Homo-oligomer: A and B are copies of this chain.
Amino acid sequence: MLNGNHKELAPRRHDNLRELIRGSGVIRVEEICRRLNVSPATVRRDLDQLEAAGAIRRVHGGAVSVESRLDEPLFDDKASIAAREKNRIAEAALKFVETGDTIYLDGGSTVLEFARLLRERTNITVVTNSLRAAHELAGRGPRLILIGGELRRLSQTMVGPLTRFTLQELHVDKAFMGTIGMTMKEGLTTTDPSEAFTKELVMSRARQVILLADSAKAGKVSFARAGRLENIHTLITDKELDKEFAKELTKTGIKLIKV
């Protein structure tokens, strides 16, 4: 028996572990063993639990803090294929934009792709909460209005209660939205409640809501609800969309465009 000293109880150990990870943003299993004086097996079990609770994110060799930018490039292997889908979806969305329109651009990679296509349009007004979309259009292009709010690092979007004050002064013709998950039952879901709050608010201020989402989003449920599918007027997605889901959608009156 190596260390007769002090073995800590699981809850305290979890707290310490959280603290360790928050401290440096990233830590390796081996180091956790050293610092907490436990075996790798135990560390892995702890990490599993903390990940299930959403407190951290595991990676090969250790774990990273969820607040840190380190875990931003979270992508499945479909990500590279999805790039082409996203581009086609964005192209299709372009047909909805008319001269004189005021449109809203949400966060998310598909909408960002769409934003890039608007760089040459000078006859529209773009309202957005996405810092990346703003950056795309900052040099030239449409009249650009950013809504105020707290920056959420992971998504690079302005979210939360502060977004309300600018948004309630505005109306937009068309809102182009992204999402993490969509199901008939839960509607739109996203990872962050503040993000969800702003999404829902935006949709209530738009005359027409157009959702840009590749088929992988269908059936997925994320953490926070961001509005019912009934709020959507049009969904632009790819051809792989689940047939059953498609049927349900059209039944509720949502226009479906598959590219």
- A interface residues with partner B (beta carbon < 8 Å): 9-12, 14-15, 25-26, 28, 49-50, 52-55, 59-62, 64, 67, 69-71, 73, 75, 79-80, 83, 109, 131, 134-135, 138-140, 143-151, 153, 156, 158, 162-163, 165-166, 168-170
Residue in B closest to A51 when the chains form the complex, CB atoms? B80
* Cα(A86)–Cα(B246), bound, Å: 58
Instruction: Name the contact of A59 in the complex, choosing from B10, B75, B131, B150 (C-beta under 8 A).
Output: B10
Residues of B within 8 A of A169 (CB): 162, 165
Evaluate contact between A52 and B83: CB separation under 8 angstroms: yes
Evaluate contact between B150 and A143: CB separation under 8 angstroms: yes
* Cα(A49)–Cα(B77), bound, Å: 9
Instruction: Name the contact of A28 in the complex, choosing from B9, B109, B131 (C-beta under 8 A).
Output: B9
Residue in B closest to A78 when the chains form the complex, CB atoms? B52
Residues of B within 8 A of A9 (CB): 26, 28, 59-62, 64
